[in-house]
Structure 1
Amino acid sequence: MYRSIDEFVEDWSREEEATLKVLKVLTDQSLKQAVSDTQPRTLGDLGWHLVGALGAILGSTGLQFEGPDYKHPTPSNASHIVESYRVMSSAVVDALKQQWTDTQLSENLLLFGSMNMTYGGVLNMVIRHQIHHRGQMTILIRQAGLVPPGVYGPNEEEGAAMRAARNQK
């Protein structure tokens, strides 16, 4: 659990950078990549979900900030998703710094009317939620014929390039 807003912001900064790496690979065409033949959700929907979930989750705690409405349909423009994520991420960090305190992070709340957790636990859930969907997106990016970026380590192509460079020495 996070003990300070600054601790969360430091962690969020790394995760935001990783999420942007994934989002920046998207093309307008790749947004249509379906999760499965039976699942109507697409790669674009997952990217837009990363934007909107910040408002849905953190907004349910009473945190107030402006950003794209998660209820809007998924954009057909990949760069719009990237920019919306940047706007939302910045708004979240600013709102947390202004509206929450370090002491508040250990206080309990009822999230979505049914989940008992601390404010710090909500921040932890937001991070984990981003990681979860980012992982799904990297698979769909590959299925869409694009190369997903390495996030916590090199992707297949980056690893092959590193091995080739070592072998040339």
Structure 2
Amino acid sequence: MMYVTIQDFIDDYENETKTTQRLLDALTDESLRQEIAPGYRTLGHLAWHLVPGASMLQQAGLRFEVPAERKEPPASADTIAQAYQRTTRALIEAVRAQWMDETLQETNLVYEMPWKNGLTLAIFLRHEIHHRGQLTVLMRQAGLPLSGVYGPTKEEWAAFGMAAPAI
């Protein structure tokens, strides 16, 4: 799938960022140290990775303000959540101001591959969704409450007075 209108991307991205923001807002400073296994990203590293940075979008020519320090995540969950909110807003405004629907058909080298800008936006969003799934697993391991992403969590089903469907 490739975006062919700016508004389609913005609509999808705004919807997905609301979901990601809810999860990031549930993190605690203590939870940021949660690992899936030794030697892999911590919850803090994964959460920080969700904050857009100098990435594929900048390789495609989109310019927006990103956090300067990207190597180590902040020790504060609130700092990560605020950076995500600030940066995603800047990204949306940059897309609105710098690109038009026709720009989505232009090709740029991204990771040394020729991608149309509409494809770059689609892959960028899928990248976030992929890592958000990993984030939810680490949040579960850390004992944090989860909100549903594309459907209710087990706890949300229980709040409805129902058992979660067995899969």
TM-score by length of 1: 0.90
Percent identity reads 43
Instruction: Provide the rounded CA distance (Å) in 2 between the counterparts of 1:38 and 1:92.
Output: 31
Aligned pair partner of 1:145 in 132, 136, 143 = 143
Residue 83 of structure 1: aligned partner? 82
CA contact (8 A) 1:49 1:70 kept: no
Q: Offset at 1:66?
A: 1.2
Q: Give the match's secondary structure for 2:114.
A: strand
What CA deviation, in whole Å up to 9, does each residue of 1:80-139 have, x standing for no partner?
A: 001000110011011111111100101222102x22211000000111011000000000
Aligned length: 162
Q: Which has the higher helix share?
A: 1
CA contact (8 A) 2:52 2:88 kept: no
The equivalences for 1:19-58 within 5 A come to: 19-39=20-40, 41-53=41-53, 55-58=54-57
CA contact (8 A) 1:48 1:70 kept: no
Consecutive unaligned residues of structure 2, counting only runs of 5 or more, are none
Instruction: Provide the rounded CA distance (Å) in 2 between the counterparts of 1:92 and 1:52.
Output: 8
Amino acid at match of 1:131: I
Residue 104 of structure 2: aligned partner? 105
Q: Offset at 1:58?
A: 1.2
Amino acid at match of 1:127: L
Instruction: Provide the rounded CA distance (Å) in 2 between the counterparts of 1:69 and 1:35.
Output: 27
Instruction: Provide the rounded CA distance (Å) in 2 between the counterparts of 1:72 and 1:47.
Output: 13
Residue 65 of structure 1: aligned partner? 64
Amino acid at match of 2:110: L
Aligned pair partner of 2:126 in 125, 128, 131 = 128
Q: Give the match's secondary structure for 1:163.
A: coil
